[in-house]
Chain A
């Protein structure tokens, strides 16, 4: 099956610093990647849709200047949390897939971000 990796799997950072999370599709080319955040006992909340070579489309209420998404190649997308604050502490998950024919997505294992 298709494999998606995320790095790091967990990170602790100080308030005010920036953190970059990488999402890689290891055995296929992903034309579309999605970024989610998930709080404890809640569902995944879509943050943005990223298509290779174009700017990410952010969901309403997600600050694009705070959550920088880059999808520079068909196998790599990055999410940078800038000037992180404790309220940004969450589980961040990416998915990768191809828009056609049937849009199935393959998810990374997630990155646990803790901001102190």
Chain B
């Protein structure tokens, strides 16, 4: 049981920001929040992770709610190459995937 909830699908226009939500209301104090994405017929790709504070890297930003029960992955300018299934995982070395969000990027 992955115990994270994400919308099944989302759409975005190219070069616009995308906010991908994730609910992890059962998160414990030692669980990290990880995001991965997967293109068809490929293994998942690490995107970003965080514990309590918001995080930024070259791929995305991660905004974590103050109570840590939800988080949002932010792609600042979506490109066609960002079209993928995005998975949010809460983990304490327990790597179970939920259904993820299929992001479609329209040109």
Contacts and interface: CB of A to CB of B under 8 A. Distances in A.
A7 B97 CA distance: 23
Contacts of A105: 34, 36, 46, 95
A32 B87 CA distance: 20
Contacts of A91: 41
A8 interface: no
Contacts of B42: 109-110
Nearest to A44: B97
Contact of B36 (A1, A94, A107, A112): A107
A46 B96 CA distance: 6
A41 B51 CA distance: 30
Contact of A106 (B38, B46, B87): B46
The secondary-structure label for the interface of chain A is strand
Which of A44, A49, A95, A108: most chain B Cβ within 10 A?
Answer: A44
Chain B interface size, as a band, is 20 to 34
B99 interface: yes
A43 interface: yes
Interface string A72-116: 000000000000000000010111000100111111111010000
Interface residues of A, number: 26
Contact of A93 (B34, B43, B96): B43
Contacts, number: 61
B77 to A, nearest CB: 21
B32 A1 contact: no
A67 interface: no
A114 to B, nearest CB: 13
Contacts of A93: 43-44
User: Which of A6, A36, A45 has the most chain B CB atoms inside 10 A of its CB?
Assistant: A36
B34 A103 contact: yes
Nearest 6 pairs of A and B residues by beta carbon? A107-B43, A44-B97, A107-B44, A110-B43, A93-B43, A43-B97
